[in-house]
Chain A
Amino acid sequence: MPAKKSSRSKTQARELLFGDLWEFDPAPESAPAHLLDRYKLFIDGQHVAPRSKKYFDTLSPRDGRKLSEIPLANAADVDAAYQAAARAFPAWSKLPGAERGKYLFRIARLLQDRSREMAVAETLDGGKPIKEARDFDLPMAAAHFFYHAGWADKLHYVAPGCRLAPLGVVGQVIPWNFPLLMLAWKIAPALATGNTVVLKPAETTSITALKFATILEQAGLPRGVVNIVTGAGETGAAVVNHSTAAKIAFTGSTEVGKIIQRSLAGTSKRLTLELGGKAANIVMEDAPLDQAVEGIVNGIFFNQGHVCCAGSRLLVQEGIEQEIIHRLKRRLATLRVGDPLDKNTDVGAINSAEQLSRIQELVQSGIDEGAGIYQPSCPLPSQGFYHAPTLFTGVAQSHRIAREEIFGPVLSILTFRTPEEAIEKANNTCFGLSAGIWTDKGSKILKMASALKAGVVWANTYNQFDPSSPFGGYKQSGLGREGGKHGLLDYAQLQPLATEL
């Protein structure tokens, strides 16, 4: 880009700002979500009332109103779920792989059939824009079941020289940012490898997991193979600490991940953790800027930034800092923030009041520590939990907004001069989940990708996912991988085949 100055003034001149001349009409998604007033636990193939007799309200973050009542499973409920899973394990694990696969194929198809209903439920309960639930979460969840279905009868091809044997009953605890997708990431590989499951969805987003139970019924899945218990931290602890569990799989914060790892000490339970991140998204001077800006926006504002691999630290090479900030501000002005059920919404509702206040607290720390804040003028709905897309400029590595996972639509912009400095800054974190690199030079991509301590590196793209693509972090971002053959290995015991040694 030799004529940087002229190209900038050219793009400025081309800009058409319509302001509020033409407001979008509301375009609410009208498909019904078929919600119940009160849900039940799913244990041993039955929808059962909790032994605890307790329920809690699940709110819709779009307006803060109560949607449904969710059972609060206690230790006895969790125990019943484990007992059912343990009873189901012998038959399920002995079922020929091809037959296990057929159940997973059915589940994938049924999810596709009920995709819109599930997407609306996901948006109502979690607050994500309907276009993301509809076009990302649901298709990707179905794809995960479809992908793993095909593995069930091919497990002997996963690890040369080894047989993959199931572990037993797997306890799984998932987060609220991609409720159904995380459920799919957890359940599909566990079932494909012949395990049975006790799953606990996040407290604020239990509805789609309990609706998913009806898909399991429709698929005719044998009772007890998947059990779903709902509740908060105590229920999660009961799932994690149950003696029947052969493995715990957890996705969530690094803080809770450490608690879980500690609580498993001295047991023989296996553990995979998919934890927090503070990804660096690195933009070099020779990057394709239009694509980079789209990638930056997608990297941090996708799902309101409630993404563990969100590109929350933007590292820009000094020479293009002003240009990138200018383009980002212009792009932010076009983001539509508001009702997640509206089909035009880009940035929806923050998942909970608690998460909103955590974001606000960290944003305030950014201001207090001296970073420059920018937010586009966008009216936020008066009801519900919302946060404007936010940029911080002049961020130092020591700032909390450069070190802590914000898990919200907040981007911290830092600069660097050389690729070496970019790598140094990118790796200067206890996390190591993901990273982005933007440059038109192939050899630079490969060099930087190899130097970045991160489990996923997106080069000239960001936030791409696929069931065949392993996902998981270095350092304090976790243990193990999900997806691809790597993910299967973490749900199986490797038994060496007798070979000529």
Chain B
Amino acid sequence: MLPITKTPKCYVGGAFIRSESGRVYPLSSASGEFLAHIPLCSRKDLRNAVEAAAKAGPGWARRSPYNRAQILYRLAEMLESRSAEMASALTTPNSPGEIEVRTTIDRIVHFAGWADKYEQVLGSVNPVASSHFNFTVTEPVGIVGILAPENSPLLALMTLILPAIVAGNAVVALASESQPYPAILLGELLAVSDLPGGVVNLLTGPRSEMLSTFATHEHLRALAATASPEEATQLQAGAAESIKRVVLHDPACDWASPHHHTPYAIRDFTEAKTVWHPVGA
């Protein structure tokens, strides 16, 4: 019997969409065999995704840390249950995909556990000299734009997404252009993970076309990316228009390294808010 082939779609605003541009690009197997058409997203798709993130972000930020932890843990459960499918999507002639899936699951669980803990590491009660109660808490910066590297299409993508969403941010991420299918699968997992639609929005398509919009879109308050020197310059210069922070990762870094397990990656996507109140009658 002829199998039913899947039409890959992007996960934006909790829905599975094609590009508004109507464009696609073909995805082929290592042996050159046609697999599917992947949406070739446009700058307009990016702006739409930012709108979706803006709608979902405040509600996600208001979820209790415990709730955020459980939802992220649920995402790990979902990935576990489809790990074989994901592994085969990640498998290349040079490397089997299982290790990347296992590492990604562990990373999700690691950051799930941070959701109700990082505040006690990053925040503080401040011993001011005057008669005031003074404390510093973290808050999400808002919407984070993510430009994932070409390699490690699941692990690197999630390594960039997790610290942002664990803190209550919403993200708009552009997947690996040459290996987009793991991000397509990831969208299907996110859709069943209890993560509210619009918190993670995944786009596929041409990085060179969308880079400048990522850099300058005023509603993106931070960017996390791997970038060539030229791309880095473009991102940082564009970010200056709205004093946006840009967190760059070395494209050659080892994405499997446990050094990525750090609350200071979460700090990159938080603002510190300090509140004063007089002590007295």
The verdict on A464 contacting B124 (CB below 8 Å), with A264-B236, A475-B221, A479-B243 known, is no
Say whether A266 contacts B236, CB under 8 Å.
Answer: yes
Instruction: Assess whether A75 is interfacial by the CB under 8 Å rule.
Output: no
The answer, among B126, B233, B242, B264, for a CB contact under 8 Å with A469, is B126
Interface of A is mostly: mixed
Cα distance A214–B262 when bound, in Å?
43
Say whether A455 contacts B264, CB under 8 Å.
Answer: no
Instruction: Assess whether B5 is interfacial by the CB under 8 Å rule.
Output: no
CB nearest to B221 among chain A residues: A475
CB nearest to A494 among chain B residues: B264
Q: Which residues of A contact B130 (CB under 8 A)?
A: 464, 466
Interface digits, B239-258 against A, CB 8 Å rule (1 contact, 0 not)?
11111010000000000001
For the complex, count residues of A whose C-beta is within 8 A of B: 50
Cα distance A454–B237 when bound, in Å?
24
Nearest-neighbour CB distance to chain B for A474, whole angstroms, equals 5
The verdict on A273 contacting B277 (CB below 8 Å), with A265-B236, A469-B134, A496-B259 known, is no
Q: Which residues of A contact B235 (CB under 8 A)?
A: 265
Say whether B237 contacts A262, CB under 8 Å.
Answer: yes
Say whether A479 contacts B245, CB under 8 Å.
Answer: yes
Cα distance A426–B46 when bound, in Å?
28
The answer, among A261, A449, A489, for a CB contact under 8 Å with B240, is A261
Instruction: Assess whether A461 is interfacial by the CB under 8 Å rule.
Output: yes
Q: Which residues of B contact A461 (CB under 8 A)?
A: 132, 276-278
Cα distance A123–B243 when bound, in Å?
33
Say whether A275 contacts B129, CB under 8 Å.
Answer: no
Cα distance A326–B124 when bound, in Å?
40
The answer, among A264, A468, A494, for a CB contact under 8 Å with B127, is A468
The answer, among B241, B245, B267, for a CB contact under 8 Å with A258, is B241
Among A266, A445, A471: residue with most chain B CB under 10 A? A266
Nearest-neighbour CB distance to chain B for A270, whole angstroms, equals 11
Say whether B261 contacts A456, CB under 8 Å.
Answer: no
The answer, among A265, A456, A494, for a CB contact under 8 Å with B274, is A456
Cα distance A432–B237 when bound, in Å?
21
CB nearest to A466 among chain B residues: B128
CB nearest to B121 among chain A residues: A160
Q: Which residues of A contact B259 (CB under 8 A)?
A: 496
Instruction: Assess whether B48 is interfacial by the CB under 8 Å rule.
Output: no
Say whether A485 contacts B243, CB under 8 Å.
Answer: no
Instruction: Assess whether B78 is interfacial by the CB under 8 Å rule.
Output: no
Instruction: Assess whether A64 is interfacial by the CB under 8 Å rule.
Output: no
The verdict on A261 contacting B243 (CB below 8 Å), with A266-B236, A468-B128 known, is yes
Cα distance A481–B270 when bound, in Å?
12
Say whether B275 contacts A474, CB under 8 Å.
Answer: no
Among B124, B261, B273: residue with most chain A CB under 10 A? B273
Nearest-neighbour CB distance to chain B for A442, whole angstroms, equals 9
The answer, among B132, B237, B243, B274, for a CB contact under 8 Å with A254, is B243
The verdict on A501 contacting B277 (CB below 8 Å), with A466-B129, A479-B243 known, is no
CB nearest to A476 among chain B residues: B243
Interface digits, B38-69 against A, CB 8 Å rule (1 contact, 0 not)?
00000000000000000000000000000000
Instruction: Assess whether B136 is interfacial by the CB under 8 Å rule.
Output: yes
Interface digits, A461-501 against B, CB 8 Å rule (1 contact, 0 not)?
10010101111101111110100111001000010100001
Cα distance A128–B154 when bound, in Å?
57
Say whether B273 contacts A455, CB under 8 Å.
Answer: yes
CB nearest to A474 among chain B residues: B271
Say whether B258 contacts A501, CB under 8 Å.
Answer: yes
Say whether A496 contacts B126, CB under 8 Å.
Answer: no
Q: Which residues of B contact A254 (CB under 8 A)?
A: 243
Instruction: Assess whether B87 is interfacial by the CB under 8 Å rule.
Output: no
The verdict on A471 contacting B243 (CB below 8 Å), with A461-B132, A486-B136 known, is no
Contacting A at CB under 8 A, from B185-240, are 221, 229, 232-237, 239-240
CB nearest to A264 among chain B residues: B236
Say whether A455 contacts B271, CB under 8 Å.
Answer: yes
Q: Which residues of A contact B274 (CB under 8 A)?
A: 455-457, 469-471
Instruction: Assess whether A257 is interfacial by the CB under 8 Å rule.
Output: yes
Q: Which residues of B contact A460 (CB under 8 A)?
A: 277-278
Say whether B276 contacts A266, CB under 8 Å.
Answer: no
Nearest-neighbour CB distance to chain A for B250, whole angstroms, equals 11
Q: Which residues of B contact A471 (CB under 8 A)?
A: 274
Q: Which residues of B contact A265 (CB under 8 A)?
A: 232-237, 239-240
Nearest-neighbour CB distance to chain B for A18, whole angstroms, equals 31
Q: Which residues of B contact A458 (CB under 8 A)?
A: 275-276
Instruction: Assess whether B109 is interfacial by the CB under 8 Å rule.
Output: no
Instruction: Assess whether B27 is interfacial by the CB under 8 Å rule.
Output: no
CB nearest to B280 among chain A residues: A460
Say whether B272 contacts A261, CB under 8 Å.
Answer: no
Say whether A476 contacts B242, CB under 8 Å.
Answer: yes
Q: Which residues of A contact B278 (CB under 8 A)?
A: 460-461
Say whether B240 contacts A262, CB under 8 Å.
Answer: yes
The verdict on A275 contacting B262 (CB below 8 Å), with A466-B129, A475-B221 known, is no
Cα distance A469–B134 when bound, in Å?
7
Say whether B273 contacts A456, CB under 8 Å.
Answer: yes
Say whether B240 contacts A258, CB under 8 Å.
Answer: yes
CB nearest to A262 among chain B residues: B240
The answer, among B134, B233, B234, for a CB contact under 8 Å with A466, is B134
Nearest-neighbour CB distance to chain B for A458, whole angstroms, equals 5
Cα distance A258–B264 when bound, in Å?
25
Say whether B264 contacts A501, CB under 8 Å.
Answer: no
Q: Which residues of A contact B126 (CB under 8 A)?
A: 466, 468-470, 484
Instruction: Assess whether A459 is interfacial by the CB under 8 Å rule.
Output: yes
Q: Which residues of A contact B272 (CB under 8 A)?
A: 455, 470, 472, 481, 486
CB nearest to A477 among chain B residues: B243
Q: Which residues of B contact A430 (CB under 8 A)?
A: 242
Cα distance A50–B174 when bound, in Å?
51
Nearest-neighbour CB distance to chain A for B43, whole angstroms, equals 20
Nearest-neighbour CB distance to chain B for A457, whole angstroms, equals 5
Say whether B275 contacts A273, CB under 8 Å.
Answer: no
Cα distance A259–B243 when bound, in Å?
10
Instruction: Assess whether A96 is interfacial by the CB under 8 Å rule.
Output: no
Cα distance A455–B270 when bound, in Å?
11
Contacting B at CB under 8 A, from A235-280, are 254, 257-259, 261-262, 264-266, 273, 275
Cα distance A432–B243 when bound, in Å?
12
Cα distance A250–B177 when bound, in Å?
37
The verdict on A266 contacting B124 (CB below 8 Å), with A455-B273, A461-B278, A475-B243 known, is no
Nearest-neighbour CB distance to chain A for B17, whole angstroms, equals 29
Nearest 7 A/B pairs, CB to CB: A266-B233, A265-B236, A261-B240, A466-B128, A265-B237, A501-B258, A262-B240
Starting from the known contacts A160-B121, A466-B126, 11 additional A-B residue pairs (CB-CB under 8 Å) come to A143-B129, A261-B240, A265-B234, A265-B237, A266-B232, A445-B277, A457-B275, A461-B276, A469-B136, A474-B273, A479-B243
Pull 6 A–B residue pairs with CB atoms less than 8 Å apart, ordered by A.
A265-B236, A430-B242, A461-B276, A461-B278, A469-B274, A484-B136
Which of B's residues lie within 8 Å of A, judged by CB? 121, 124, 126-130, 132, 134, 136, 139, 141, 221, 229, 232-237, 239-243, 245, 258-259, 261-262, 264, 267, 271-278
